[in-house]
Amino acid sequence: MSTVAEAITTELDQLGVADKHPGLAQLAITLATSVDLPGNATAQANAARELRAVMEDLRKLAPVAQDMDRVDELAQKREDGLVRARRA
């Protein structure tokens, strides 16, 4: 079973926000590590609540995915064809 810190690190990598917002990313990892530590349940709950808020902010700051659907692909092919036609 993976730890919260591992899961958060993986999500940060997927979001691609660590380079642009290193302080928030490091805060998320530190809070996740606190959630993983055994001991004071109140401290873990507080860290989890703060972690949720920080991750919400980081998700909002993440760049929009550049996934192309079929319409985008066709538009790109059309644009490429127009560029080639203008050069010829």
Q: Is the pLDDT of residue 17 over 50?
A: yes
CA distances from 45 to 23, 38, 55 (A): 22, 12, 15
Q: Cα(62)–Cα(13) distance, rounded to whole angstroms?
A: 11
Residue 18 amino acid letter = A
> The domain containing residue 75 runs over which residues?
4-87
**Using alpha carbons only, what angle is made at residue 46 by residues 41 and 50, rounded to the nearest 5 degrees?**
145
Q: What is the mean pLDDT of residues 14-23?
A: 92
Q: Is the pLDDT of residue 1 over 70?
A: no
Domain tally for the chain? 1
> pLDDT tens, 40-86?
899 999 999 999 999 999 999 998 767 777 887 888 888 888 778 78
